[in-house]
Amino acid sequence: MPLSKHLYPQKMKLRRMQAPSFWHRPSMTGRLLSPLSIFWHAGTMARRFFAAPPFVASVPVICVGNFTAGGAGKTPLVIDLARALCSSDQKPHLLTRGYGGSLRGPVLVDRQTHVASEVGDEPLLLAATAPTWVSHSRAQGARQATKNGASIILMDDGFQNPTIVKSLSIIAVDGGYGFGNGKVIPAGPLRENVKAGLRRCDAVIIIGDDCHNIERFVASECPVYRTKIVAFPESSNTDKRVIAFAGISRPSKFYETLSDLGYEVVGKFDFSDHHQFKEEEITKIYNCAQKLGATPITTEKDHARLPIEAQAKIKVIKIGIEWEDCDARESILKKVNENG
């Protein structure tokens, strides 16, 4: 039974602005805005031209980035790579800007004392795997990581950041979204021209089904690897009737994942990326779920931003990365040594 205004008239009040719909597919709006993309491109080039010489860390730096604004599955991919590095006796430190948090850093994330409003939601997830630094300055964060024992630095985002030299650059691509309408901001979701970005990239990792022929488009420029999102066993139980809510760049991706996992999604609530949830918003969602005989469910990132007192009420779906080729991860990490 779908969520209805009769059962829940507050539905529309809970919705927040997401990425423009014309970013997803070719449209007249995108074509009309295309000339403005030159200003974004000019700003990017100026940033690179006037930037100070990039910082060269004393340890290898792996960057996991993307070409589009918003999420592409970078965080679960970083966690997966970090776990692999830990298993190979490396001491990875993770480095992120901490989007959505108030602290500029560099600061070492402490899951016991920090909250999402201070360091952002992603760093709290990353810190469960390896030491994680939040720093608006990637160079300063890398310095602190090496001073504190990092044998390798793994950056969550920062591919377009020119202030630090990368030993290995990996691009994550959401297979279901691809490169959107193929246009650069503001006409589309791209941070830069894809072909130009591929020249600085060592590997492309497609996450999910390749619905847009991404591999065919990029394979001539860069090695391509395939992965998919999987739910951890503890995320699955008998509570399959759910009210889902998410404050990520593309909530529809989360809802599709739930459906693929066998959940019956009877209500959906979209919030802006990195939305800071209020107690009254969660109360409304929880009450709605009770009316519909459903369990409220959200992503790990969103769960980290819930008020502490609300976290126990909300089910969280925990996800990971599964590689199509079981040797692919090791093959990618070997490139760090090859690149010197």
Whether residue 307 is found in the same domain as residue 252: yes
184 assigned to some structural domain: yes
Helix (H) or strand (E) holding 9: none
Whether residue 152 is found in the same domain as residue 96: yes
Whether residue 89 is found in the same domain as residue 169: yes
43 assigned to some structural domain: no
Q: Which residue has the higher pLDDT, 95 or 221?
A: 95
Grouping H, G, I as helix, E, B as strand and the rest as coil, residue 53 is coil
- Around Cβ 138, how many Cβ atoms within 10 Å? 27
What is the per-residue pLDDT for 163? 92
Reported pTM? 0.84
Whether residue 237 is found in the same domain as residue 286: yes
Which of 213, 230, 247 lies at the terminal end of a domain, its last residue? 230
Mean pLDDT of the chain: 87
Whether residue 175 is found in the same domain as residue 218: yes
Is the model's pLDDT at 130 over the cut of 80? yes
229-249 confidence digits (pLDDT tens): 888 755 555 678 899 999 887
Half-sphere exposure of 299 (CA within 13 A, CB side): 32
Local structure of residue 233 (DSSP, 8 states): G
Helix, strand, coil percent content, the chain, rounded in steps of 5? 35, 20, 45
Indicate the pLDDT class of residue 170, thresholds 50, 70 and 90: very high
Whether residue 271 is found in the same domain as residue 183: no
Q: What is the CATH number of the domain that holds 136?
A: 3.40.50.300
User: Residue 145: which domain range?
Assistant: 48-230
Grouping H, G, I as helix, E, B as strand and the rest as coil, residue 153 is strand
Is the model's pLDDT at 339 over the cut of 80? no
Six-digit token pair at 54? 């990039």
17-45 confidence digits (pLDDT tens): 467 888 988 889 989 999 999 998 888 88
Which of 230, 260, 295 lies at the terminal end of a domain, its last residue? 230
Indicate the pLDDT class of residue 340, thresholds 50, 70 and 90: low
Whether residue 120 is found in the same domain as residue 167: yes
Is the model's pLDDT at 96 over the cut of 60? yes
Which of 230, 249, 280 lies at the terminal end of a domain, its last residue? 230
What is the per-residue pLDDT for 8? 41
- Collect all residues with Cβ–Cβ distance below 8 Å to 102 and sequence separation of at least 6: 117, 118
Whether residue 105 is found in the same domain as residue 180: yes
Question: From CA 259, how far away is CA 192, in angstroms rounded?
Answer: 33
Question: From CA 101, how far away is CA 125, in angstroms rounded?
Answer: 14
Q: What is the CATH number of the domain that holds 257?
A: 3.40.50.2300
Number of compact structural domains in the chain:
2
Q: Which of 16, 39, 86, 56 is nearest to 270 (CA)?
A: 16
Whether residue 167 is found in the same domain as residue 225: yes
Strand order of the sheet with strand 107-108? 107-108, 132-134, 92-96, 152-156, 61-65, 168-174, 203-207, 224-231, 319-323
Whether residue 285 is found in the same domain as residue 136: no
Is the model's pLDDT at 57 over the cut of 90? yes
Whether residue 226 is found in the same domain as residue 246: no
DSSP-derived pairing of the beta strands 203-207 and 224-231: parallel
Q: Which of 60, 13, 107 is nearest to 332 (CA)?
A: 60
- Residue environment code for 268-294, b if the CB has 16+ CB neighbours within 10 A, otherwise e: bbbbebbbbbeeebbebbeebbeebeb
125 assigned to some structural domain: yes
329 assigned to some structural domain: no
Whether residue 188 is found in the same domain as residue 159: yes
